[in-house]
Structure 1
Amino acid sequence: MTLHRIVQTLTAGLASALLACAALAQSNYKPEYRMSLVLGPPTPWGQSGQIWADLVKERTQGRINIKLYPGVSLIQGDQTREFSAIRQGIIDMAVGSTINWSPQVKQLNLFSMPFLMPDYKAVDALTQGEVGLEIFAAIDKAGVLPLAWSENGYRELTNSKRAVRSPADLKGMKIRVVGSPLFADMFTALGANPTQMSWADAQPALASGAVDGQENPLFMFPLLKLHNLGQKFVTTWGYMADPLVFVVNKDVWSSWTPADQAIVRQAAIDAGKQGVAIARKGLVEADKPLLKEIAGFGVTVTQLSPAERDAFVKATRPVYDKWKQTIGVDLVNAAEKAIAARK
């Protein structure tokens, strides 16, 4: 046998062995992977998940099929259990909120720090820089593999009582908040009465007037018709933004071939970029068409001046200082530095 023939035979044998290994690895693949989401399409959150699932299916030629489970339905709607359920393998993958996962990963509270991020460039300076990598390391250490960032958006204030331009305007107002103690601390510092409840409970409470207001990204306003729940006043104050994180259960991840791992990671990065653009649509354009749409419902939209915003910053500074210790002084300092240096 000639040397050329020997090389040909060995190459063919190696190729066959690699194909056999890949086929064996893929025989461990599940027919379907379960992705948990709080909000489904058409929200930016749900769209981020849908784009990721579609890209993965297309790029793996159907080897990895992902089904979306919005409303955290895999854990009976309990958002606080989502992170643990991913770690335990009840959930295979997720696009999750930094707020919801902050009880398990304290560093995620960074994004809820009042008035830390004054604009979208500040958000990007954190998620796309060293701070983002440090937070990914913390998520990884907590037992879940992070792949990419997306966005749910800045949480803005709505209420049924009056235009809010100063902390005094919030005094005694009953505001629905999510279950993070940082949110309760912040609204208490502003003189409001924070009331923690699920969104399912919040809607009838807003409609009946049992609760005066709430805070959420503005894409929710027309989607949920919040003006029909008595929300006649909106204040854009940009007090915190909620980045979203694409994650995979570690056992699921290790069951995939390195080639498929690379595909899933890149698909998450690509879907995250699209998700960020969707979350900011209507708010980054000069005329802010989303604010015009909301005003069209007969709603008073208040955009704070820098001086008005500063009054809220000052009122919440003790909360900021308290939580800086909890989150980690070094991490918060690094975040402040990154934001100060943003272009």
Structure 2
Amino acid sequence: MFRLKTMIGLFAGALMLTAGISQASATELRIASGFGDNHSATRALREVFARKVEELTDGRYTVSVFPNSELGQATEMVNQAQSGINFGVYVSSAFYNSQVPELGVTNLPFVFPDRETAFKVFDGPFGDKFKPLFEKSGLVVLGYMELGFRNVTNSVRKIAEPADLKGLKIRLQNNPVHIATFRQLGANPVSIDGSEMFAALSQGVVDAQENPYSVINAFRLYDAGQKYMSDTGHFFDVIVFAGSKSMLDAMSAEDRQAILNAGRLATEAQRKFAKEDEAADLKSILSHGVTFTRLTPEEREDFRKATLPVYDLVRERLGAGLVDEFLADVDAAK
């Protein structure tokens, strides 16, 4: 009996030791972003990507997600993934300007009528053509997630026509197309990282900003003096979830494919989460006393017409062929 108990104890100890060794030998994949804990992308990466990576690689890899700009500003986090300091990053497409400037064509104002059209383009041949460009810069696209339609908020007045933006100091991402668009509309753009946006608005460094409802709500920008919001929907923005090419290339073919599969599943889940969250985010914003201006189709058309010169500017910067191909793809996807 004593011998049996001893053998059982030794066997249990061996199992615990084996589990400990297996856990210790797992490679941690660190993923960074400025989005918060409750953002749809963070949830999808923690709930789907992390689980599927561990499952599909039999525990050889684990995933740790660092939201809230814990690992730096957006451009720093992109560079960390490029160099392999961290495995991945999920930020707005605007923050990949240095790596893939051609991606800027998708930031044209008032180009996508709805999310369905946008994802037909990103999931098709046009979206695929950016992937080799990312790889040349040391990144692998694991998914085009939804950030959503961007809307203007400000502390001064309601925005219902282009003239209402004149003279407003507006916080923007460091994106050439975004900056050109708001200059064309008469505003004064100021590039500020998302981690510093709340303070800049609270202190009056800028009057306005533009973001999807999910970000406006998560950052509680209504507490930063943003009294007015309009559903301008001027840009449809995607989150590019990208991984380190050097780290992926060092994996076995099986594990690399597992990571790609997990990225696809997480992207599908994130888009679903984002669509479900939109109405709740808007309701939450309005519950804090924000004055909401819903544009009529005629008013939105006035904004679109006012930004048409930006299309010519982008043609000059990125090439008429790329712009025309993109616009043809959008038209075909409608």
TM range (shorter): 0.7 to 0.9
| Unaligned stretches of 5+ residues in structure 2 | 1-21
Maintained 8 Å contact 1:117/1:239: no
Q: Which residue in 1 is equivalent to 2:265?
A: 270
Specify whether residues 68 and 291 from structure 1 end up closer, same or farther in structure 2 by C-alpha distance, changes over 3 A only.
closer
Q: How many residues align?
A: 311
Q: CA RMSD in A?
A: 2.2
Helix, strand or coil at the partner of 1:334: helix
Specify whether residues 254 and 198 from structure 1 end up closer, same or farther in structure 2 by C-alpha distance, changes over 3 A only.
closer
Matches within 5 A, 1:1-343: 31-50=27-46, 51-74=48-71, 77-283=72-278, 288-343=279-334
Question: How far apart are the structure 1 equivalents of 2:245 and 2:171?
Answer: 35
| Unaligned stretches of 5+ residues in structure 1 | 1-25
Maintained 8 Å contact 2:33/2:74: no
**Farther-moved stretch of structure 1 (330-339 vs 65-74):** 65-74
Q: Normalised by the size of structure 1, how large is the TM-score?
A: 0.84
TM-aligned CA deviation for residue 136 of structure 1: 1.4
Question: How far apart are the structure 2 equivalents of 1:177 and 1:333?
Answer: 26
Q: Which residue in 1 is equivalent to 2:11?
A: none
Specify whether residues 298 and 78 from structure 1 end up closer, same or farther in structure 2 by C-alpha distance, changes over 3 A only.
closer
After superposition, the C-alpha distances for 1:181-201 in whole angstroms (9 at most, x for unaligned) are 322221111111112222343
Identity %: 31
Alignment-mate amino acid for residue 93 of structure 2: T
Maintained 8 Å contact 1:40/1:47: no
Question: How far apart are the structure 1 equivalents of 2:240 and 2:200?
Answer: 30
Helix, strand or coil at the partner of 2:34: coil
Question: How far apart are the structure 2 equivalents of 1:113 and 1:274?
Answer: 26
Helix, strand or coil at the partner of 2:238: strand
Specify whether residues 256 and 210 from structure 1 end up closer, same or farther in structure 2 by C-alpha distance, changes over 3 A only.
closer
Question: How far apart are the structure 1 equivalents of 2:287 and 2:36?
Answer: 26
Q: Normalised by the size of structure 2, how large is the TM-score?
A: 0.86
Maintained 8 Å contact 1:177/1:194: yes
TM-aligned CA deviation for residue 176 of structure 1: 1.0
Q: Which residue in 2 is equivalent to 1:14?
A: none
Maintained 8 Å contact 1:107/1:328: no
Maintained 8 Å contact 2:105/2:318: yes
Alignment-mate amino acid for residue 47 of structure 1: R
Alignment-mate amino acid for residue 69 of structure 1: F
Maintained 8 Å contact 1:106/1:326: no
Alignment-mate amino acid for residue 54 of structure 1: R
After superposition, the C-alpha distances for 1:286-343 in whole angstroms (9 at most, x for unaligned) are xx45433322222122221221111111111112211133233333222211221225
Question: How far apart are the structure 2 equivalents of 1:93 and 1:227?
Answer: 31
**Farther-moved stretch of structure 1 (188-197 vs 48-57):** 48-57
**Farther-moved stretch of structure 1 (269-278 vs 240-249):** 240-249
Specify whether residues 32 and 254 from structure 1 end up closer, same or farther in structure 2 by C-alpha distance, changes over 3 A only.
same
Question: How far apart are the structure 2 equivalents of 1:147 and 1:198?
Answer: 24
Helix, strand or coil at the partner of 1:278: helix
Maintained 8 Å contact 1:45/1:275: yes
Maintained 8 Å contact 1:48/1:150: no
Specify whether residues 218 and 96 from structure 1 end up closer, same or farther in structure 2 by C-alpha distance, changes over 3 A only.
same
Maintained 8 Å contact 2:138/2:246: no
Alignment-mate amino acid for residue 323 of structure 1: V
TM-aligned CA deviation for residue 118 of structure 1: 2.1
After superposition, the C-alpha distances for 1:32-89 in whole angstroms (9 at most, x for unaligned) are 1221222242112322332312221123231111212224444xx2322333332222
